[in-house]
Amino acid sequence: MATVTDTPSKTSTNGQHTNGADRPNSIPSVYKEPAPIVDRDNPLESMMQRFDRAAEILKLEPGIYQYLKTPVKSVIVSIPIQMDDGSVQVFEGYRVIHNDILGPSKGGIRYAPDVNLDEVKALAAWMTWKCAVVDIPFGGAKGGVCCDPRTLTMAQIEKITRRYTANMLDVFGPDRDIPAPDVNTNEQIMAWILDTYSMHVKRTEPGVVTGKPIVLGGSLGRREATGRGVMHSALRAMEKIGINPKQATVAVEGFGNVGSISAELLAEQGAKIVGISDISGAYHNDGGIDIQKAIAWVESHGHLLEGFPDAERITNEQLLTLDCDVLVPAAREDRITKRNAHNIQAKLIVEGANGPTTAGADPILESKGILVVPDILANAGGVTVSYFEWVQNRGGYHWTLDVVNERLATAMNSAFDRVYAASLQYKVSLRLASYILAIDKVAKTLRLRGIYG
């Protein structure tokens, strides 16, 4: 049932053994002269355009370049489910392991109707770079199931999750590949993954998945970790450009786990949240939106929906271009593009989502002097606490919330400082600096390990 595409193991070109000693001084011929950036709204293209620029600056050898741009494994599975009326519906599921040089591969699983292999490949590569940027010993992976959870019952979502997990038994494992929540997946779904995997291996294996309920070995602070990391990155960046958080105005796109918690924690720091949005619409209030009230509204209504009190209804496009100091895109990919980047008024963008800005928008934002804290840095708090969760599972021990949050703050702030220093050193954006640091780390590890084959 599973279609497994393994990258040929001999990825070094010309059969040469790649190590640091034979790094060419000139740009290897595999690079085309960086093409003018085209905005194709394809996350994989956007990832590759940034990767190519960083690889060029690092003068990456052709073999290492080929190795790092290609996922080591892409798995496609079919997920047949018996629906409530007895009919059978077949869903498609993906898991892409982009790289496992630094350690077991790590990354979430998303359930959405538009999930596709290219998107999952881009997201898997971003996980490799993200783990390297925050210096945790994981490679990168991502999974997805093409389905619309809004039209499915909990029982159907459970069946999909269990069949997907059963089909991925050869892929997942606490020392191989460790899934986690992502768009439209949650602690309950992680619990079903844990249970299905554990039933097959005939022992309870908490370390096979992170973002679990606490009672099953989840970590305190994991649920809030991505938003907390966004808050740390935002504060660090505000300090660099002289924005006082207590006087800052913030717009947050997306009100799921990442957006709502980022908004809540930034409000706690004294910032005024002037705009929020979710799938049902965008809302604006210059006087500030009460985030606790918005969270309670979503808890009782499912969405913000029309009728959310104390705010004026605006379009999502207006939300992105609101007059504010900080914009936190925390929804999906390709929201800030070359079509709307010119109109962005924020001075700082902190990317809570993965890939919210296309490569085509990068130079526009740069020319406008907008500081962008890129996704692979800004939203790395989630995978950082996933790593803490995995460490706790392996040690059979629980850390207190204070310990988790303190270690998260240290990890996020030191990653920010490393990226900031690299951006000064190479005279590039924070995004390119993050890619440079990440690719350099994975490449150095690869040269030490060498190519088996």
Min dist CB 350 to ligand GLU, Å, is 14
3-state secondary structure 332-375: CCCCECCCCHHHCCCCEEECCCCCCECCCCHHHHHHCCCEEECH
DSSP state for residue 246 in the 8-state scheme = G
What is the C-alpha to C-alpha distance for residues 344 and 233, in angstroms, rounded to an integer?
20
Min dist CB 94 to ligand GLU, Å, is 14
Between 124 and 451, CB nearer to ligand GLU: 124
Min dist CB 375 to ligand GLU, Å, is 8
412 binds ligand GLU (CB under 6 A): no
Min dist CB 106 to ligand GLU, Å, is 4
Min dist CB 386 to ligand GLU, Å, is 3
Min dist CB 187 to ligand GLU, Å, is 12
For ligand GLU, which residue of 106, 232, 236, 332 counts as binding (CB under 6 A)? 106
CB under 6 A: which stretch of 24-32, 84-92, 102-110, 269-277 binds ligand GLU? 102-110
Between 160 and 180, CB nearer to ligand GLU: 180
Please state the φ and ψ torsions of residue 36, each to the nearest 5 degrees: -55, 135
CB under 6 A: which stretch of 73-81, 100-108, 308-316, 365-373 binds ligand GLU? 100-108
What is the C-alpha to C-alpha distance for residues 298 and 277, in angstroms, rounded to an integer?
11
Min dist CB 379 to ligand GLU, Å, is 6
Q: Which residue out of 69, 142, 212, 338 is catalytically annotated?
A: 142
What is the C-alpha to C-alpha distance for residues 27 and 288, in angstroms, rounded to an integer?
51
Report the candidate in 428, 386, 444 with the shortest Cα–Cα distance to residue 130: 386
444 catalytically annotated: no
Q: Dig out the tokens for 336 from the structure.
A: 């800030």
Between 65 and 172, CB nearer to ligand GLU: 172
Between 108 and 259, CB nearer to ligand GLU: 108
For ligand GLU, which residue of 108, 207, 229, 259 counts as binding (CB under 6 A)? 108
Binders of ligand GLU among residues 364 to 383 (CB under 6 A) are 379, 382-383
E strand spans, 364-443: 371-373
Between 63 and 218, CB nearer to ligand GLU: 218
The H-or-E segment that residue 133 falls in is helix 117-133
Q: Dig out the tokens for 204 from the structure.
A: 């309870």
Between 99 and 379, CB nearer to ligand GLU: 379
Between 225 and 451, CB nearer to ligand GLU: 225
For ligand GLU, which residue of 210, 257, 260, 393 counts as binding (CB under 6 A)? 210
Inter-residue contact 147 to 185 (CB < 8 Å) = no
Q: Dig out the tokens for 405 from the structure.
A: 């949050």
- Tell me, by CB under 6 A, how many residues bind ligand GLU: 11
Long-range contacts of 240-245 (CB under 8 A, 24+ apart): 240/371, 240/420, 241/347, 241/348, 241/371, 243/325, 243/326, 243/347, 243/348, 245/269, 245/270, 245/271
What is the C-alpha to C-alpha distance for residues 302 and 308, in angstroms, rounded to an integer?
12
Binders of ligand GLU among residues 303 to 362 (CB under 6 A) are 354
Between 182 and 205, CB nearer to ligand GLU: 182
Long-range contacts of 288-291 (CB under 8 A, 24+ apart): 291/260, 291/263, 291/264, 291/267
Window 156-195: contact mask with ligand GLU (x via CB under 6 A): ------------------------x-x-------------
For ligand GLU, which residue of 128, 277, 386, 423 counts as binding (CB under 6 A)? 386
Min dist CB 210 to ligand GLU, Å, is 5
Half-sphere exposure of 450 (CA within 13 A, CB side): 6
Inter-residue contact 331 to 183 (CB < 8 Å) = no
Inter-residue contact 128 to 166 (CB < 8 Å) = no
- Tell me the residue nearest to ligand GLU as measured from the CB: 108
> Interface residues with ligand GLU (CB under 6 A)?
106-108, 180, 182, 210, 354, 379, 382-383, 386
Active site residues: 142
